[in-house]
Structure 1
Amino acid sequence: MRICVALLALACVVAGACTPAAAPSATTSPSVHIKVGIQGVGGPLEIAYRRGYFAEQGLDLEEVPFNSGAEASQALATNQVQVGSGSPNAATFNALGRNIDLRIVGDWSHVGSPTDTTLALLVGKNAQDNIKSVADLKGRKLAILGAPGNVGDFFMARALQGSGVSLSDIQVSYLGASDILAALANGAVDAITINEPLGTQAQQQFGAKLLVPAGAVMNGSELSVLEYSPDLANNTDAATGFMIGYLRGVRDWNAAFHDKQGTADVVNLLVQYTPIKDANIWTTAPAWYVEPNGKINVSDLQDQLDFQIQAGQVKSPPDLSKYVDSRFAEQAVQKLGAQ
């Protein structure tokens, strides 16, 4: 695998390059070359690669950076890359509705426990006296990380349920990672919806206060999913082999950050092989959750699609059953055992 992209926050897209590092040796020479499209953090993927799990399956990986989900989806559909990840947002649903051909094959990240702040609503320091609950957001300025039609909209709709306030009652803007933190710091917005580790940064550096963690209102919801190109999906051995390696990395990730087993070794690996060189970031920012058996929350994907349709963000709804393919995760679990 050639590392071509800086792995940053789940919320951030990176298009930088870094010096390629030597690939781990395999017990047998890798025979299948797989390009992996990267848009954000690939923690479990990076663990799997560095520990040789893909090479053991006869796979030679190359990481390819992308600046947007639309760009990555098109590359997957045309087999320019064979593996990627994507969010269940309006852009993805609209692409599927236009018959962009890809397969949703596993969980990449989801909302975990009721206190999970992987995605969260935070109140700025200067607005905390006036915003004590979501009902107090009426008439206030809220910035949501990303573009309209993303999972942040779905989260806010869930957070506002029963409050008597809707998103239309709030002054909503959509900002990128650097702009949203600056807007919070200078008081240009009263509250933000943001992912980790940016949420931890906002609290530690700018005095933001947690109002609603995503875990409290959308427990189990998909934040991003693992995707295959049609060509890879048709190569059962390679597709299953990739899933086996990936799930081994997922389980190491979960053990390190959620079970606190082998944490130091995993953090050292991530510090060594990613541009995030501060071990404190890996150990203090809440780690996202990944399903150890690769299981996809299909009902939640449908809920998010229905929400985006009602919000007017999706014009030609896709039939998700045509794109969700759980075969490879199921076959991998047969080899690895269930967790």
Structure 2
Amino acid sequence: MRTGTNPYHPAPHKRPALAVALLTAGALLVSAGCAKEDDAPSAGSSKPRAVKAVEGCGKAAWTDPADLAEGREPARCDKGAPAPRPLDAKKKITIATGTLSAEYVAPLQMAVEKGEFAKEGLDVDLKVLPTPDALPLLAKGDIDAQWAAPEAAVMNGINGGFAIKWVAANYSPPAESHSGLWVRLKKGETADHVPMAGRKVGTMIGKGSVIAYPMGKSLRKHGGGLDKVQFQQLGSADVLTALQNGGVDSAWLLDPVWQKIDGDPKYAFLGGQPLGEPLGGLLFGPNLLHKDVDAGVALLRAYVRTVNTYFRGDYKSDAGFVSELAKLLKVDESILKSTPSLRMDWEIRKGTTDRLQQAYADAGVAEGEKVPESKAVDRSLYAEAVGHRE
């Protein structure tokens, strides 16, 4: 379903996700002309940049990356902050995204609609591309950024030396959300403990997706694991049907599909994405990491300002804004209202890429040595945007 709020809805694509992840990683490693970190210009984000205090962005504009508390308040500046600092010359930026209709893309859409990117001197083009197709273009510098996640293919590409980094997060789910792993209970079973080893799991998401991490976490709580269950990949319209008719024992259900069985005693919710820990967001390639860091900071400044201005707290409590958002995303307003507001969050938690890579290893889709966080994550650009000094 393309109109839900989970960022990991795959765009229409016929290739199996596991094969896509592995083939994409291979394409990244051999693609001629891709920029590697060793080949990048020296004037990149690795060099110290002057970070100035930003009006409207105080202590609340930065949280300790090591804070994994589920109730952690996401970082926030005042509305309208950080203020624009237009580039000397207008800059064209292309951002790839798998969809333009999912709620998690709303800050990008709204930043274009409200002119927040334009205020920075950026002409931003949001280009719909499936993640496997966009990654090689990002690595080569043919596109500037990607709204995606550090999936297995991304980490495998970074492991090969390419200048791709996760530079800003997107959201974490609200506590009320039950998007995640659901199981059909057998006779005598309760939601407290459901033996998952050996069961068949239906999912539209491959093992190389970031969802492997929370799925594995939920499975382990119930005696299972990514290596102890059978996966059956299904289309978005078939996952719930297969769970209901016995085709699979459990399934990863996205927003708002899970609401159709929520409260039904025949089913139990085992867990979803960790609260307070975003699993996706903006990936930068060599263009914004090294060649034009000022433009990269400007893009993040506009993104952060959009979150602070339009997506604070329960933004769906404003009926007028929900209507505007539904029109912008071209989704049914009733669907948008049916799920709680996302916790929009630009900050990346410490250790997330380590936990993701462990899940990929457990699922058998990791290649090469583990990528250290310093090679996969760069928090310095959004830190500069909000005036945070380490």
Amino acid at match of 1:319: P
Q: Do structure 1's residue 288 and structure 2's residue 342 form an aligned pair?
A: yes
Q: Which runs of 5+ in 1 are unaligned?
A: 1-5, 17-25
Task: Say if 1:56 and 1:35 are closer, same or farther in 2 by CA, change over 3 A.
Answer: same
Contact residue 243 and residue 249 of structure 2 kept, 8 A = yes
- Aligned counterpart for 1:212 among listed residues 227, 249, 270: 270
Q: Is the 8 A contact 1:86 1:92 kept in 2?
A: no
Alignment partner, residue 98 of structure 1: 160
Corresponding residue number in structure 2 for 1:327: 380
How far did 1:329 drift? 0.5
Task: Tell me which amino acid in the other structure corresponds to 1:54.
Answer: F
1:302 is matched with which residue?
A: 354
The residue aligned with 2:139 is 77
User: Which runs of structure 2 are paired with 1:184-333 in the superposition (5 Å)?
Assistant: 184-200=243-259, 202-203=260-261, 209-214=267-272, 218-234=274-290, 235-255=292-312, 258-260=313-315, 263-276=318-331, 278-291=332-345, 294-316=346-368, 317-333=370-386
Residue 33 of structure 1, CA deviation: 0.8
CA contact (8 A) 2:4 2:254 kept: no
Q: CA deviation at 1:75?
A: 1.4
1:260 Cα offset (Å)? 4.2
Give the superposed CA RMSD. Answer: 3.3
Deviations 1:173-230 (A, max 9, x none): 2334233234234331122113323333x437x9984512326xx3333321311121
SS at match of 2:387: helix
CA distance in 2, matches of 1:15, 1:82: 23
The corresponding residue for 2:212 is 153
Query: Could you tell me which amino acid in structure 1 is paired with residue 161 of structure 2?
Result: N
CA contact (8 A) 2:203 2:232 kept: yes
Using the alignment, how far apart are the partners of 2:92 and 2:170 within structure 1?
21
Q: Aligned partners of 1:231, 1:198: CA distance in 2, in Å?
A: 38
Aligned to 2:123, which of 49, 54, 60?
A: 60
Deviations 1:117-141 (A, max 9, x none): 3x411235xx465653352434432
Query: Residues 151 and 209 of structure 2 are in contact (CA less than 8 Å); yes or no, is this contact kept in structure 1?
Result: yes
Write the distance in 2 (CA, Å) between the matches of 1:271 and 1:76. 29
Aligned 8 A contact 1:36 1:81 in 2: yes
Contact 1:47 1:252 in 2 (8 A): no
Percent identity, please: 22
Distance 1:208 1:321, change over 3 A: farther
Equivalent in the alignment of 1:132: 190
Q: Secondary structure of 1:137's match?
A: coil
Question: Residues of 1 paired with 2:116 and 2:255: CA distance?
Answer: 27
What does the per-residue CA deviation read over 1:2-61, in whole Å, with 9 as the maximum and x for residues that have no partner? xxxx87642324469xxxxxxxxx998981111110113311111222111111111111
TM-score when scaled to structure 1? 0.78
Q: Does structure 2 conserve the Cα–Cα contact (< 8 Å) formed by 1:196 and 1:286?
A: no
Deviations 1:69-108 (A, max 9, x none): 2222211111221121222332222122222321211112
Q: Cα offset for 1:310? A: 4.1
Q: Which runs of 5+ in 2 are unaligned?
A: 14-83
Cα distance in 1 between the residues matched to 2:204 and 2:123:
34
Q: 1:43 is matched with which residue: 106, 113, 124?
A: 106
Which string of whole-angstrom CA distances, capped at 9 and with x for unpartnered residues, describes residues 266-319 of structure 1? 32222222221x21211222343322xx22113122122133224432121323
Is contact 1:27–1:55 with CA below 8 Å preserved after alignment?
A: no
Say if 1:28 and 1:107 are closer, same or farther in 2 by CA, change over 3 A: closer
- Seen in structure 2, the aligned counterparts of structure 1 residues 70 and 260 have a Cα distance that, compared at 3 Å, is closer
Structure 2 counterpart of 1:187, one-letter code: G
For residues 168 and 15 of structure 1, do their structure 2 counterparts lie closer, same or farther at Cα, with a shift above 3 Å needed? closer
Equivalent residues of 2:150, 2:166 under 8 A apart: no
| Aligned twin of 1:23 | none
Aligned residue in 2 for 1:121: 181
Number of equivalent positions: 309
Higher relative contact order (CA 8 A, sep 6+): 2
**Cα distance, 1:328 vs structure 2:** 1.6
Q: How does 1:15-54 map to 2 (within 5 A)?
A: 31-40=90-99, 41=102, 42-54=105-117
Partners of 2:4 and 2:256 within 8 A in 1: no
The 1:7–1:242 alpha-carbon spacing in structure 2 relative to 1, beyond 3 Å, is farther
CA distance in 1 between partners of 2:177 and 2:278 (Å): 13
Equivalent position SS for 2:182: strand
Q: 1:72 to 1:85 in 2, by over 3 A?
A: same
Distance of aligned partners of 1:187 and 1:136 in 2 relative to their CA distance in 1, 3 Å threshold: same
Distance 2:308 2:367 in 1: 38
Change (3 A) 1:262 1:284: closer
